[in-house]
Structure 1
């Protein structure tokens, strides 16, 4: 019986330790993987999750995009970005709509924000100016 319990705990530990999912960002305490700046902005943060479940946090979407230039993209499982309209809420970056507007500063100066809903991005564009991008267009802009 004792052997079975140890075996069960081992299997549970191995399967739960490598889950591929985003993790909450500890705002104000964790640093950006790319530039080391403390992450405090809940509207512009981003996160990469590898196929092995390792998480990399970024203070700005542009830091994540710059980090991707040096990474094997095939090892990445998730590209997560904060939804500008829902601060602190990570959404799928490959499905988000992006806005570059000089009227909305981001932590590293690229004026880049992400939106889960395209209509929300359009509304923010109408109010602030700028240009909208899809994930594919944003990757081209950052030469990925």
Structure 2
């Protein structure tokens, strides 16, 4: 009976750890965007969605991630991540990020959308490049219009 309990516990632990909700490194130049199928090469604008079961979907731009949300049950999404414009390749929580839409900063799909971890950094870039700042919720509302 002890052996059965040990195997059951071991099985549960393996299941728990195999479905971890964590980002996966984007292999720039090789990974493809789940939404538009383009190869992800831009280290400033890539994004990821991670489901509650740990499945990762990669995108070449935050705008592709937002468009993907129209085709997916968003109640199953645990994390929305966008690359931090100020720190290439670093993924940040999109829900906590500040976004800048500036015609002076092209993004892969033409939405001119960049994410920033810190509002202060976003404001500095906005002062140089112009544009409009958005929170996550404001950005989603902007894209619905």
Q: Is the shorter-chain TM-score for this pair beyond 0.5, marking a shared fold?
A: yes
The number of equivalent residue pairs is 144
Partner of 1:103: 104
Deviation string for 1:36-71 (max 9, x for gaps)?
101111100000001111100000010001111112
2:28 is the alignment partner of 1:31: no
| C-alpha separation in 2, matches of 1:10 and 1:36 | 36
Q: Deviation at 1:11?
A: 3.6
Deviation string for 1:52-91 (max 9, x for gaps)?
1110000001000111111221111000000000000000
Structure 1 residue ranges without an equivalent (≥5): none
Structure 2 residue ranges without an equivalent (≥5): none
Partner of 2:127: 126
Instruction: List structure 1 segments (4+ residues) > 6 angstroms apart after TM superposition.
Output: 1-5
| C-alpha separation in 1, matches of 2:69 and 2:4 | 45
2:113 is the alignment partner of 1:115: no
Partner of 2:64: 63
| C-alpha separation in 2, matches of 1:9 and 1:29 | 35
| C-alpha separation in 1, matches of 2:41 and 2:72 | 25
Deviation string for 1:96-142 (max 9, x for gaps)?
00000000000010000000000000000000001100101001011
- RMSD of the TM alignment (CA)? 1.7
2:80 is the alignment partner of 1:79: yes
